[in-house]
Every structure is written in structure tokens, then in C-alpha cells.
Amino acid sequence: MIYLDYSATTPMSDEALQAYQKAANNFFGNSNSLHQFGQEAEQVLYLSRKSLSASLDMQPSECYFTGSGSEANFLALISLALAYQHKGKHILTTRCEHHSVLQAIYYLQTQGFSVTYVPVDKFGLITKKALLESIQEETILATFAHANSELGTVQNLAMLGKILAMKKILFHSDCVQTYGKLKIPVEYLSSLSISAHKIYGPKGIGAAFIRSTLHWQSFLKGTTHEYGFRPGTVDVPSVVSFATAAETYLQESEADMKRLLNLRIRTIEALSMNPSVVFEGHPTQRLPFHIGMRLKGIEGQLVMLECNRKGIAISTGSACRAGQTAPPQSLLAIGRTTEEAHEFIRITFGKMTKDEDVEALTKCISEITTNYGNG
């Protein structure tokens, strides 16, 4: 079976697995306990926090471990919005955001906040004009993902961040898809979220980073773990594994991204000859390992199932939307019809992707369009 769904999750690296087992065996204490076992766990937790923070040029005190990247998004947005609501209750986002961000926005709307969905262009990019026209006097917070997990388009966070800083608006970014793979312009961000299982670490562990110069308010009162940011005993072995996965992959990421970009270019060139194929997202300002596309007149679900039958795993969008009948919102946001959005499929490469995998994929797509297409 060929796995081409690395934006959904990645397999754990050997280093991450070994680190998890070692930490689980030797540092099983509760990091909040005051006895020796607890203090040893706390020390390992701090070293991991320090390592991950250093990879982003941030401070250990600005790192808060969470149960996932989704939870990191939710808690960071809620905590900042509640802390700064005295300055205004208006938030900016787009309809291309991850479901966890939109969930946080929906919750804040129940708390009296208002939201403006900044329009995006045909590639999913936010323009300077669109952002400026969306800002209101009451705007206190904006949240735009660094990269869209479905389209693959990478936002210009520096350009957006400069505008938001000038207007004194807090800026959060979901960086789950880009951490460890692309340089994140953290100097323009108030907060950001990352996740372990996108960089060959364990599932069930993520982190939110919030500038120490900012205030935040706990979502759940009386919380003691993670400086009051999140309830529940910290999963120290997963944190250690997270830091190890990051340290390991960051050493090889640049070379791997170049290799995967070459595979992507080869795939695009091969598929471009197929009249049924329509590529989505920005052609160059995008994740180098990511292909978003449609096969005209063919349901994405059918394509995914046919690929699976032929031994190739792809997806029809974000795994957090799996099982939903609604089409990807990002496709609708860039002007696609509901029928066109339902045609969407996502192909993402990773460490184990080989040249022959690309050949098998292009052959499979060709067979599907021959058997089912009308393009």
C-alpha cells in the first residue's frame, strides 16, 4: 500500500518511538508532583519545552502543551479573545481555516463576539486590500493559517502581520501544516499552534505559543497544569517524543522538502497532460509536498476509493472533516461550485514517498479518468 496522505498524519520516526518508550519507562511521574519522580518528569518536560521553543526562536515560558494542534488553536484563540475583549469584540478570519479555528470562532460568537470572514482570491490568498477593508475599530484579533491544508496555499504572514501590527491587532496563525517544513515568520505573530503528528511524532500532543508580553485568560477556571492554560496531567512521554521528532526532522527537512518538491513537479507535469485534471491552490506559493486537484465530473470520494482499491491512500481534504457530506469550505471560498468542490482530492508526499509511488499514482489517475471521466 502506498501512503500519500502525509498532511493528515505521518508515521512516527524510530527516534520518536524510542524517545517515547524511554521517557515512559524512566519519567512516568506526574510533572506537577513535588517528590523526586515528579521533579524528574518536570525537568524532562522543561528540556523538551526549551527544545521546541528554540526551534521557533521563542522562549520556553511561551510554550503551552496541548492534546493536539486543534486544541492549541481553540485554547489560544479563546484565551486571547477573552483577555482582550475590553478593547473590542470583533475578530477576523477566513472560511478557509481549519475546523478547530472555526469552532473557536463559533464559540466566541456565542459569547458576544462578531466575526468578519476576509475574502480570499482564486488561489486562497488574502490580499492587502481585502484585509484592510475588513478591519474595524473594534477588531482585536485575527487568525489566518500559515498554509491551507486542503488547497496547499501558503499565506504571506509577514505582509498580513505588518498590517495587523500597525493596527494593534493580535495575530494568531495555525502553523500545523508548516512547522518543521517551512520557515515560519514568528516575529509577526502573537500566537501560533503546532502539532507532533505532522512531523513524524506521536498523535495526541500539540503546542500553543503565546507571546509572554500578552495577557491571556484561562478557558476553564481553576486549571493548574501548563501554567493554567490547560487542565489535565501533561503527557510527558509524548512531549519528549514530540521534541525528539522535531529535532530529528529539522535536521533533514530542507533536503526532504527539495526532494518532495521535485516529486511534486514531476507529478504535476505528468498529470497536466490529462484534460480531466484541474489543479487548485497557488501554483508556487504553496506547500512543496502538496497537490490539491479535481478530476472533472468525478466525485472525489469515488477517486479516493478507487485509489485505495488500487493500493494508494489519498484523501478528499482535511482528515478532521472525514465523514462529512459537505464539500471542503476552502473550495467554496475560492469560488468553486458545490459540485466542483465535491470533486476535490488531496495528495501529499512524505519521507517514505518514492519515485515509483509517483508513477503508480499518475497511472492510477489516468485509469480513473478513462473509466469514469467526461473531461
Question: Considering just the CA atoms, what is the radius of gyration of the chain in Å?
Answer: 21
159-203: pLDDT as tens digits: 999 999 999 999 999 999 999 999 999 999 999 999 999 999 999
292, β-bridge pairs: 280, 346
Q: Is residue 212 within 8 Å of 59, Cβ to Cβ?
A: yes
Q: What is the pLDDT of residue 241?
A: 98
The residue to which cell 516529486 is assigned? 263
Q: How far apart are CA 369 and CA 308, in angstroms?
A: 15
Mean pLDDT of the chain: 95
For the chain, give the percent of residues with pLDDT over 70. 97
Is residue 216's pLDDT more than 50?
yes
Q: What is the pLDDT of residue 34?
A: 83
Q: How far apart are CA 91 and CA 95, in angstroms?
A: 13
- The cell for 11 is 508515521
Residue of 96, 175, 320, 364 marked active site: 320
Range from 8-17, 288-297, 326-335 carrying the lowest mean pLDDT: 326-335
Nearest to 190 by CA among 214, 167, 166: 214
Q: What is the pLDDT of residue 356?
A: 97
Q: pLDDT band for position 37 (50/70/90)?
A: confident
User: pTM here?
Assistant: 0.94
pLDDT (average), residues 34-63: 94
Q: What is the pLDDT of residue 225?
A: 83
- The cell for 359 is 508513477
Is residue 321's pLDDT more than 70?
no
Is residue 88's pLDDT more than 90?
yes
Residue spans of beta strands (DSSP E) within the chain: 2-3, 63-66, 90-93, 114-117, 139-143, 170-174, 191-195, 206-210, 277-280, 290-295, 312-313, 344-348
Q: Which domains, from first to last, does the chain contain?
A: 2-7+253-369 (3.90.1150.10), 26-247 (3.40.640.10)
User: H/E/C letters for each residue in 297-358?
Assistant: CCCHHHHHHHHHHCCEECECCCHHHCCCCCCCHHHHHCCCCHHHHCCEEEEECCCCCCHHHH
- The cell for 174 is 495555525
pLDDT (average), residues 349-373: 94
Q: Is 320 a catalytic residue?
A: yes
Is residue 125's pLDDT more than 50?
yes
Q: What is the pLDDT of residue 261?
A: 98
50-78: pLDDT as tens digits: 999 999 999 999 999 999 999 999 999 99
Q: What is the pLDDT of residue 319?
A: 58
Q: What is the pLDDT of residue 375?
A: 47
pLDDT (average), residues 256-281: 96
pLDDT (average), residues 13-22: 98
Is residue 148's pLDDT more than 80?
yes
